[in-house]
Amino acid sequence: MLCQHEGVTQPDAASGHLDVTTIDGTVPTDLVLPPPGRGPGIVLVQEIFGVSPYIRRRAADLAALGFAVAVPNLYWRHAGEPGGDVVADDDPEALARGMALMQATDWDAAVRAVRASIAALRAHPASGGRAGVLGFCYGGGLAYAAAATGEGVERPDLVVAYYGSALPALVDALPVPQIPQLHHFGDADAYLSGDAVRHIDEVVCTGPDTQVHLWPGAGHAFDNPLPMFHHEDASRGAWRVTTAWLAERLPVG
């Protein structure tokens, strides 16, 4: 039984830029504001495919709910290369290109960028000093790592990770974040085995206010709308759980 597991069934934003600088350079970061112009902050961390149309849509979804959303481009160093820093949905080699971009990006630099984005968003007047972090796949692992290692203003108020691909190693290497956590996994994930998910559950649930949800029939990246990944029931259900969980712990208004 996963900790606090619940059986869940199906269930106009203005854009700008946020100044985010680390020892590695300036990280291009989109800022998507809710209609009122202010709301609690969420740093949204990309998948291996970069700041794709899917990630931008999720940023808009969060902004429509009342959150101020920062979206750092972790592949910014590759922007001038052939193919750029975003993998096109119709690229027949999308998975291979995404993996190559991820492997070419220094992990520690990416974690620093996420932590710096949390601090910058917290300092922005739109956020009211509040900032959580939410990541998908590659971004789920980075969100967890940032939460586990961040201190002071770089420490998020909460973390949401969808099928964090690096979590099997991270949960043993890093201290468990002492903040609210929400994790989603599919029980048909070919990348994260059942044993790996059970181990993640055992470790993260030693932290406070932690939930882990396992979605029947869903594979890896089930929230991504691409047909090779998408699982409609899991995507809808997990998003409903996520938005309700955020509303309780990072309330708007």
Spans of all domains in the chain: 14-249
Give me 2's structure tokens: 């996963």
Cβ-based neighbour number of residue 142 at 10 Å: 29
> At the fourth CATH level, which superfamily is domain 14-249?
Alpha/Beta hydrolase fold, catalytic domain (3.40.50.1820)
pLDDT tens column, 101-119: 999 999 999 999 999 999 9
Coil, strand or helix at 158: coil
DSSP at 50: B
pLDDT tens column, 133-178: 999 999 999 999 999 999 999 999 999 999 999 999 999 999 999 9
> Of 197, 113, 181, which is closest to residue 150 (Cα–Cα)?
113
Residue 114 contacts by C-beta under 8 Å, 6 or more apart in sequence?
A: 43, 45, 72, 74, 133, 135, 142, 143, 145, 146
Are β-strands 68-72 and 159-162 bridged in parallel, bridged antiparallel, or unpaired? Answer: unpaired
